[in-house]
Structure 1
């Protein structure tokens, strides 16, 4: 079975945590003791029904305030697919948490309250999903039970969302009328919406095609570890792009030496080809002195080697970003020292406008910056390859991650 990573987003109190709880409850992905615990918590809070949101709200502050603060990851599976869910916060002050949860997602579920329709936070979260190059969006129009399962209201929300999304160019958008509280169209199709024939949320999650979302053209293999014995010299890592095959001619960066792939090894033995995101050991037909942080790339489609970059970053630290700031930049398996040479602009994620600024970036703000590197890195644009086009910035004194970025 393949794996689908998806994230949830939407306005505060749109029902994100309840939806995930409903998915896990109706697919029998929770244990009896978990159910008993949330039943007791629901009773102590005075909730009329079992509060399924408590399955994902893991922090004490979240349970007390009834909001999501941190990113909560949950796992479940059906006979057709495995899933990893990132339940992300809706508040604007937790934008960095949403970016973290969405950064590895194949699909985003944008929840919309059927009573309120498309609001500012709906647009903001959709825009962030598009920035992160999430190609599949499911718009779950929740709380349909509170608008009497109105087809007219559902169609109005659909038209409003499509009018907005045309500006940001998302390719695959699906609309599903649901009630997370009552379970309508979440796991099973609902009799309350006879006018809807697009399948339940789970059915759509099981069927969405994500194979073509990966970069299967540009062969990229960042080296994580050298595996060397008296009679074996291999390079361990994850295939981050392309389909690499035994016999392929490759180039090693930064040395630019060429060789051919002699074998591809796994825990289960040798294979003839590997593709993202497989972790393998590659051996070459020549003895090359490579190390962690180097990259093996297919010779017919090579990456760029650069010592300065522009990147769109989300600032995650309480101490703001300013021109001249020095950080450690981590990119694939390599780390280099980096200096911010310019803040090109700041992005208003509510209006999608680029704003000129001299004030740098503050926590939860997104903007484009220029970075000078102490030594060259081997990269693609984030648009081409999410794995080799992403980076993080680290404070060298505290070792805190201060920003996540997408190379332009």
Structure 2
């Protein structure tokens, strides 16, 4: 099976990106006869006096052909005798930088074109920085239009020096510099007689032979959950693509952010049972017990993925309106989307020099390091450790437009996956207690969310805080933590017993669930009915179940807070 290389072409306007890819397709005889004939006919009315204009193969929009520049990202799929390729031809104009960033997000390698007469420009630096930001580690700098300087080696060496300085500034890895002519075909398929002083591989053979699979593997197994599959009351599976590692039936996994542990009961690849699965495979995983998992959660085996709601990220601002700290956005990270606030712009990065600049706001196409506060703690990690859990976009909550893309650089208050995250523990029983969460309405961001203060683990005999800022419980109460199937009995504000719900009997005291919502139960018969209906609950009838059995406002309230993000 041929290996696949996904790469992007980028650079400044009129550097010849579309022409280069078009020439590869034409010379490699990768066009159908009608495509080749159409290209030759279209070129007769083009700007090259009847000579073939290879860029027309990529510039498909009428507006692109009229302006002579690429506007949208054009994807091309082609195969040679040695390899299969997907190439994204991206715009060079600054106005379409966001389009270029989209293309870079999928690529393993970047081909950055540089006009030999222009040298390294600001847009070249911006594109190289964005490619590096998106995790691309392999770069080819194609010094184009050598025919316009009569294949002058001296001029090439001057541009090569500029590229080397850029390589050092951005700490780029694995770069190759190739002199070529996209229009004339020099050094594209074979070494050009016009450039005898270049002894390296031409562009296409280099692309066919480069190994981009030797990057360090992410540690451990993890799978962001895209969907909970519950076709009937007997089956509950978690669907997603495995991003790293492998999983087998019988393995113990941890659900994040809840930190519940369970064993893998079955694995399905499409509709077929499998004993194991590995990175890149879309699977459905069924666990041996009920756990609190929904879209946006993560199943993991190792303990090196934590949760946090405070991160620092490098972002590319792509919105026409300015970024001002304090504005509320939707943050999409992994398969999770939730409200978040850009709390500060730590510094802006000068695209030309790399200098860190103090900035109060951010304009379109600028890059900055920002502090971001999320409405709740979610599984997150640095981009260079777990890529999918470290890449994000910011979405405008009014226009629904993507305002920025970025990567996580550091995490604050990161909670590692360990046993200390449980709220109640007695012998072998462990349970989380979100009864201590505070419910705040943020008057700055006009949004409602939860905040869990630092807590310790309570056991039998401990006194618990029955009163907080946004909750007040009776001193005698039963807490039924359904997701862990644990009952906590509180008498005179102290824990008198922690037991399995299988052993629980209603004793006439008020009941709350694990969130602190009152359960509408007044007898042992009603308690049994409530628990049985919970076991039968699925995604389709969850809302009906909650409306029937629980009440938020009995012991809880929402209080106003000026800025709970920085508590």
Flag whether TM exceeds 0.5 (same fold): yes
> Aligned match of 1:344 in 319, 343, 346?
346
Give the superposition deviation at 1:15: 0.7
Measured in 2, the distance between the counterparts of 1:246 and 1:176 equals 49
- 1:80-119 correspondence to structure 2 within 5 Å: 80-119=82-121
CA 86–369 in structure 1, closer or farther in 2 if over 3 Å, else same: same
Task: Find the counterpart in structure 1 of residue 241 from structure 2.
Answer: 238
Match of 1:283 in 2: 286
2:389 is matched with 388
Q: 1:216·1:276 contact (CA, 8 Å) conserved in 2?
A: no
Distance in 1 (alpha carbons) for counterparts of 2:47 and 2:174: 40
1:16 aligned residue: 17
Out of 148, 160, 163, the position equivalent to 2:150 is 148
The one of the two structures with greater contact order (alpha-carbon pairs below 8 A, sep at least 6) is 1
Relative to 1, partners in 2 of residues 1:268 and 1:183: Cα closer, same or farther, differing over 3 Å?
Answer: farther
> Larger deviation: 323-332 or 156-165?
156-165
2:287 aligned with 1:293: no
Structure 1 position 104, deviation (Å): 1.9
- Cα separation, 1, equivalents of 2:137 and 2:284: 30
Unpaired stretches in structure 2, ≥5 consecutive residues: 410-567
Distance 1:377 1:10, change over 3 A: same
Structure 1: unaligned runs, 5 residues or longer: none
Measured after TM superposition, the shift of residue 138 of structure 1 is: 0.5
Residue 257 of structure 1, aligned match among 254, 260, 273: 260
**Separation (CA, whole Å) in 2 of partners of 1:200 and 1:45:** 28
Query: Matches of 1:285 and 1:278 in 2, distance apart?
Result: 21
For residues 195 and 59 of structure 2, the distance between their equivalents in structure 1, rounded to whole angstroms, comes to 30
> Structure 1 CA distance, aligned partners of 2:200 and 2:263?
48
How big is the shift at 1:136?
0.1
1:113 and 1:386 mapped to 2: Cα distance? 33
**Residues 182, 188 of structure 2: 8 Å contact kept:** yes
**CA pair 254-171 structure 1, distance change in 2 beyond 3 A:** same
1:208 aligns with 2:202: no
Change (3 A) 1:279 1:272: same
For each residue in 1:225-264, what CA deviation from the matched residue of structure 2 results, as whole angstroms up to 9, or x when unmatched? 1233455443211122334444443211122111233444
Aligned partner of residue 277 in structure 1, secondary structure? coil
Identify if the C-alpha distance between structure 1 residues 388 and 2 changes in structure 2 by more than 3 Å, giving closer, same or farther.
farther
1:68 aligns with 2:103: no
Deviation string, structure 1 residues 295-338 (Cα, Å, up to 9, x no partner):
1012x343121112221111222222112211111111111111
Cα distance, 1:109 vs structure 2: 0.5
* C-alpha distance 216-380 of structure 1, shift in aligned 2 (>3 A): same
Give the match for residue 370 of structure 1: 371
1:273 and 1:203 map into 2 onto residues whose CA distance is: 37
Contact 1:109 1:138 in 2 (8 A): yes
Secondary structure of 1:167's match? helix
Report the 3-state secondary structure (helix = DSSP H, G, I; strand = E; otherwise coil) of the residue aligned with 1:45.
Answer: coil
Alignment partner, residue 353 of structure 1: 355
Contact in 1 for aligned 2:191/2:201 (Cα 8 Å): yes
Q: Which residue does the alignment assign to 1:399? A: 400
For residues 80 and 248 of structure 2, the distance between their equivalents in structure 1, rounded to whole angstroms, comes to 32
Larger mean CA deviation between 232-241 and 281-290 belongs to: 281-290
- Secondary structure at the aligned position of 1:44 is classed as coil
Q: Specify the alignment match of 2:489 in structure 1.
A: none
Change (3 A) 1:60 1:240: same
| Mapped partners of 2:240, 2:216: distance in 1 | 17
Query: Quick one: structure 1 residues 332 and 398, their matched pair in 2 at CA, closer, same or farther if it must change by over 3 Å?
Result: same
Any conservation in 1 of the 2:218–2:385 contact (CA below 8 Å)?
Answer: no
SS in 2 for 1:9: strand
Secondary structure in structure 1 of the residue aligned to 2:388: coil
Report what 1:221 is aligned to. Answer: 223
Q: Measure the CA separation in 1 of the matches of 2:261 and 2:71.
A: 49
Partner of 1:267: 270
- For the Cα contact (< 8 Å) 2:116–2:143, is it kept in 1? yes
Change (3 A) 1:152 1:264: farther
**For 2:277 and 2:151, how far apart are their aligned partners in 1?**
48
Contact 2:316 2:365 in 1 (8 A): yes
Kept after mapping to 2: 8 A contact 1:217/1:243: no
Report the alpha carbon displacement of residue 175 of structure 1 after superposing the two structures with TM: 1.6
TM norm structure 2: 0.67
Whether contact under 8 Å (2:330, 2:340) holds in the other structure is yes
Between stretches 308-317 and 231-240, larger displacement belongs to: 231-240
2:312, 2:372 within 8 Å by CA — same for their partners in 1? yes
Q: CA deviation at 1:212?
A: 3.1
Q: Do 1:304 and 1:379's aligned partners in 2 also have CA atoms closer than 8 Å?
A: yes
The 1:151/1:271 distance shift into structure 2, 3 A limit, reads farther
After superposition, the C-alpha distances for 1:115-145 in whole angstroms (9 at most, x for unaligned) are: 3333333333222222222100011121222
Change (3 A) 1:265 1:23: farther
Q: Is the 8 A contact 2:169 2:354 kept in 1?
A: no
Q: How does 1:167-178 map to 2 (within 5 A)?
A: 167-178=169-180
SS in 1 for 2:117: coil
Structure whose CA Rg is larger: 2
